Chain A
Amino acid sequence: QQQVKQSPQSLIVQKGGISIINCAYENTAFDYFPWYQQFPGKGPALLIAIRPDVSEKKEGRFTISFNKSAKQFSLHIMDSQPGDSATYFCAAVASGGSYIPTFGRGTSLIVHP
């Protein structure tokens, strides 16, 4: 049973466009939602994270939008650049539980110059 559903599986965007990746979860115990960025041959790296007490968090060109009632959260990459081409993973953590993140299956983003 996939606890965090991520879509789309792949995404192609033109330089300067907006990349949007969506995730949905079922477990209401999740209370921390990090996004990871992974370049080929590298391990994932934390990009941005949000807690459910806010509906949006922005860091530079990256924004997380969070909808607690719908149990959905999304990553928006504004002014997408070729250097943003990577695989993006959303995750969810229940801080009252084991702290083990549950990851989505990832989105492969390609930004064309």
Chain B
Amino acid sequence: GAGVSQSPSNKVTEKGKDVELRCDPISGHTALYWYRQSLGQGLEFLIYFQGNSAPDKSGLPSDRFSAERTGGSVSTLTIQRTQQEDSAVYLCASSFTTSLLGNEQFFGPGTRLTVL
């Protein structure tokens, strides 16, 4: 019955390393979104999943970014060969469907990624 959870809450890594960020959506939610929030910036859409449909990857900034969603539940965002400009808070959200009309999008607390 808990909300969207994300792990780790904080991640410090060295430039060039790969990182994996995890999102556990609310049970039963079919839609899952990843966003990036940089200091002083709004939420930048990265990717979303809806059920078994092919994900919309239109927001991924480069081919170093990828995400998967296993079994229609847990999702992992992977950033390969991290760069300092990847430093940001990565937010995951889920909703019952992709229709936001009357279906609230619930956000997790985010993972703060720092690339040294």
Contact = CB atoms under 8 A, between A and B. Distances in A.
Interface of A: 6, 9, 32, 34, 36, 41-46, 51, 89, 93, 95, 98-106
Contacts of A102: 45
Contacts of B98: 98-99
Contacts of A34: 100, 105
Given A34-B100, A98-B56, A99-B100, A89 B42 contact: yes
B101 A89 contact: no
Nearest to A106: B42
B77 interface: no
B67 interface: no
A106 B101 CA distance: 22
A36 B42 CA distance: 11
B43 interface: yes
B99 interface: yes
Interface string B57-68: 001000000000
B42 A42 contact: no
Interface residues of B, number: 24
Interface in B90-116: 91, 93, 98-101, 104-110
Contacts of B107: 36, 43-45
Interface of B: 4, 31, 33, 40-43, 45, 48, 56, 59, 91, 93, 98-101, 104-110
A89 B107 CA distance: 13
29 contacts: A34-B105, A36-B107, A42-B110, A43-B93, A44-B43, A44-B91, A44-B107, A45-B107, A46-B105, A51-B101, A89-B42, A89-B43, A95-B99, A95-B100, A98-B48, A98-B56, A98-B98, A99-B31, A99-B100, A100-B56, A100-B59, A101-B43, A101-B45, A101-B105, A103-B42, A105-B40, A105-B41, A106-B41, A106-B42
B110 to A, nearest CB: 6
A6 B43 CA distance: 13
B107 to A, nearest CB: 3
A72 B59 CA distance: 25
Contacts of A46: 104-105
